[in-house]
Amino acid sequence: MTDITQTTIEADPKVPVIRMTREFRATPEQLLRAHTDPQLFVQWIGPNATTTRIEEWDARSGGSWRFVSSHEGTEYGFRGCFHDVRPDRIVQTFTFEGDPDGVALETLWFEDLGDGRTLLRTQSLVDSFEGRDAWLASGMESGVNEGYAKLDELLANGAV
């Protein structure tokens, strides 16, 4: 198995944006499906110790979504709109319901690299640097710290 490029991240110093890239051994069509088919989406959105329940899911341009993640009995709701769903990109809004005023505008691009590989590029735009940095600090998904130590260990051992 050849190594694939790990996630890269960039916090833009001029605009409150987080950009990430990640390469996948899949076609753009498969990657789009993994993001738009709710049964596939819940399998990976995680984090590991949480379960995700889809409450609303209409993955079409102009549709909306809502899912609830539970972790140790606490539920965290997330919702947003699919602004644009196209073969090469998804444009959507993202809100953590615990901070309903914080709305991120996310764009995901699926770039065909050929040979059954696709580059995923994502950009999240929030309305302030404070908001962006709070997201970075909270880990965005749930603010749960579980697993980092374990991951550090795995990364240190070269196991992942």
Residue ranges binding other proteins (CB under 8 A) = 4, 6-9, 11, 13-14, 18, 20, 22, 24-26, 30-31, 33-34, 40, 43-48, 76, 98-99, 120, 129-130, 132-134, 136-145, 147-148, 151, 155, 160
Q: How far is CA 68 from CA 4, 104, 132, in A?
A: 31, 17, 22
Nearer to other proteins, 6 or 51 (CB): 6
Closest to other proteins by CB, 62 or 107: 107
Tell me which residue of 135, 128, 125, 131 sits closest to 17, measured CA to CA: 125
Nearest distance in Å: CB 160, other proteins: 7
Distance of CA 3 to the CA centre of its chain: 22
Q: Quick one: 33 or 83, whose CB is closer to other proteins?
A: 33
Separation of alpha carbons 5 and 23, rounded Å: 6
Give the integer Cα–Cα distance in Å for 141 and 76. Answer: 9
Output 82 or 110, the one with its CB closest to other proteins.
110
State in angstroms the smallest separation of the CB of 91 from other proteins.
19
* Shortest Å distance, C-beta 52 to other proteins: 11
CB of 62 to other proteins, least distance (A): 25
Closest to other proteins by CB, 62 vs 99, is 99
CB of 8 to other proteins, least distance (A): 8
